[in-house]
Amino acid sequence: MLDIVYVVATLSFFGLMWAYARACEYLGREPMGEKEQL
Amino acid sequence: MTTNGWLLILVYSVLLLAVTKPLGVYMVRVYDGSLKWLAPLERGIYRVCGIDPEEDQHWTRYTGALLLFSAVSMLVTYVALRLQASLPLNPAGLPAVADRQAFETAASFTTNTNWQSYSGEQVMSYFSQMTQLAFHNFTSAASGMAAVVALTRGISRRSGGRLGNFWVDLVRGTFYILLPLSVIMALLLVQQGVIQNFVNYVTVTTVEGAKQVLAMGPAASQIAIKQLGTNGGGFFNANSAHPFENPTAISNFLEMFALLMLPAAMVYMFGRMVKNVKHGWALWAAMYVLFFGGVATAYWAEARGNPIHAARGVDVVASASNPGGNMEGKEVRFGIAASVLWATATTDASNGSVNAMHDSFTPLGGLVPLVNIQLGELIYGGVGSGLYGMIMMAVLTVFIAGLMVGRTPEYLGKKIQSREVRMVMLYVLIFPAVILTFTAASVLLPAGLKGLNNAGPHGLSEILYAFSSTTGNNGSAFAGLTGTTYYYNTMLGLATLFGRFAMMVPMLALGGFLAERRTVPESAGTFPVTTPLFVVLLVGVVVIVGALTFFPALALGPLAEHLAMQAGRLF
């Protein structure tokens, strides 16, 4: 029974990390003023 | 402190310096693709796995590949450990690994932590050790190296957020660097007497006439990569204090040297790849200052010993027949200098292997490994992870220097603006947030307190060390904490995962953001990153960030214990 819990927890963790990466991508969107400096 | 002891530290330092450049140059050639002596093997792997080695991945794709590889390999290990009893190479007939320990071990080895809440010889079959744990020893190290190479590419070029190919970096790091060095290292260790066999455990009669079971197994091959890959998980429970893992003074030096060799060389590699070798050496110098400070403090504290011992008539002065100082928990074969040098190096790196028990160090001696971990293990650090930790601090340093003079900061020709600083701050804040949250929860919850074997400040140090070690992906244990409970197995397993991936993601994002920026030429307003001033500022930032974050917890743990010891009270 706990095997399922640990497997689901592992998959959830990596899913969370993927969502976190997308959030970082969102955080990295430049405000207009900074864009020309890229 | 003895002349011999200082000589050991000096020889270690000189050899570390000597190996940095040649190995660093070799690594540059591995990651720029110019080294091709294993090209047929590489092509075969890419073809079988369906990898396009020419693909230049955007940072999100690079991160996704790293996460996918880690998730799948962690789950495979979990299943293999749970099915251990039915798998081959299990002459001792060991049963399946318990669910909670299988989770923690799979997480721990996937993240290059190698925290072990079990005795290797009593829980892991040869199959589990060789196909699962050793596999992760290679791939977790290669993943860390790949990550820092990706960040380096982000700094050194403008490629629209593209950082290279994770699969290629993983394969090349494993086959060109880790495997060849591990073979050489394993042979050297076998020559020194480290065991490497597949025989069943041996029952012997001791000199007192008692029966004793001696664990056997393919130890040398595992120890080679455990040190080179800054993994640290021992084949035996006593780790490198076990005579079958570490039989001689030479094997001790080799193992100790192997654990900082690659991280030191990677710093030079970074300098070459960003075309600023002087900056690589500046980072190296900052790391050495912190390394030497740690080893000198720990050596002083352990050689001085425990004043309570001295007050009770124990001879704590070093002489020809007496090592002096605090020898509790240390191998008589290695003595104080080799024990503190190992303890410092293993916690500077995210290694975690031990040849002495850190729990038995004096409070200030034990403080050094703890602080090394809490600084982020960036003093040479884990392979890859240490260097990217220091690069994050270097970015923070130029940002602070930029604020001081009122200019837009630059790092190696790339402007550092709000989005880069956001990623750096995420990286800096996640680490203490995970450690302190888990530690606070453990001192409040009955399940957390149940694992403690010592009261007072020493008990707090044990919990704080456990979560610092796992979140920092170090894996060394302070001992004294019973970690084989559902609570600790699960929480420590989660801490390893957050400590690895929740920090890697913003680091790779930073690499991607920098790869989108054009490189600007140096100007009069550029803060130089090759001068002694930069080294001093960088060391200051590392120490201040670490001290501000962890000082309150350290004051309640090892510092309170040190003051209590001076007043004659032990815990």
DSSP secondary structure of B504-551: HHHHHHHHHHHHHSPPPPP-TTSPPSSSHHHHHHHHHHHHHHHHHHHH
pLDDT at A35 over 60: no
| Chain B interface mutation, best of A6, A27, A35, highest count of B Cβ atoms under 10 Å | A6
| A2 lies within 8 A of chain B by CB | yes
Residue B332 burial by CB count (10 A; 0-12/13-18/19+): exposed, middle or buried? exposed
Contacting residues of B for A2, CB less than 8 Å apart? 99-100
| Structure-token pair, residue B457 | 């400040």
| A38 lies within 8 A of chain B by CB | yes
Give chain B's mean pLDDT.
91
Q: Are B355 and B240 in contact (CB under 8 A)?
A: yes
**Is B501 close to A30, i.e. CB distance below 8 A?**
no
Provide φ and ψ at B167, rounded to 5°: -65, -40
Q: Give the position of tokens 């600023």.
A: B276
Nearest chain B Cα distance for residue A22, angstroms: 8
Chain B residues at the A interface, defined by Cβ less than 8 Å, are: 60, 63-64, 67-68, 70-71, 74-75, 78, 82, 99-100, 102-103, 106-107, 415, 417-419, 422-423, 426, 494, 497, 501-502, 505-506, 508-509, 512-513, 516-518
**Is B75 close to A22, i.e. CB distance below 8 A?**
no
**Is B67 close to A21, i.e. CB distance below 8 A?**
yes
Nearest chain B Cα distance for residue A33, angstroms: 11
Q: Which residues of chain B have pLDDT under 70?
A: none
Nearest CA in chain A to B414: A38
**Is B422 close to A17, i.e. CB distance below 8 A?**
no
d(C-alpha B489, C-alpha B494), whole Å: 9
Q: B269 in helix, strand or coil? A: helix
Secondary structure letter of residue B452 according to DSSP: B
**Is B423 close to A24, i.e. CB distance below 8 A?**
yes
The predicted-structure confidence for B401-445, as pLDDT tens digits, reads as follows: 888 887 778 899 898 988 999 999 999 999 999 999 999 999 999
**Is A28 close to B509, i.e. CB distance below 8 A?**
yes
Q: Who among A10, A20, A31 is closest to B505 (CB)?
A: A20
Residue partners of A8: CB distance under 8 A and separation at least 6: none
- The alpha carbon torsion through B124, B127, B132, B135 (nearest 10 deg) reads 130
Three-state SS string over B87-130 comes to CCCCCCCCCCCCHHHHHHHHHHHHCCCCCCCCCHHHHCCHHHHH
> pTM to 2 decimals?
0.91
Find, among B56, B32, B31, B149, the residue nearest to B507 by Cα.
Answer: B149
Partnered with residue B57 across adjacent β-strands are B164
| Structure-token pair, residue B287 | 């790391």
Q: What is the model's pLDDT at position B260?
A: 93
d(C-alpha B17, C-alpha B4), whole Å: 20
pLDDT tier, A31 (very low <50, low <70, confident <90, very high otherwise): low
Q: B164 in helix, strand or coil? A: strand
Nearest CA in chain B to A6: B103
Q: Are B390 and B283 in contact (CB under 8 A)?
A: yes
Q: Can you tell me the ipTM of this complex?
A: 0.89
Provide φ and ψ at B533, rounded to 5°: -60, -40
pLDDT tier, A38 (very low <50, low <70, confident <90, very high otherwise): very low
The predicted-structure confidence for B55-74, as pLDDT tens digits, reads as follows: 999 999 999 999 999 999 99
pLDDT tier, A36 (very low <50, low <70, confident <90, very high otherwise): very low
**How many C-beta atoms lie closer than 10 Å to residue B149's C-beta?**
29
Q: What is the model's pLDDT at position B165?
A: 95
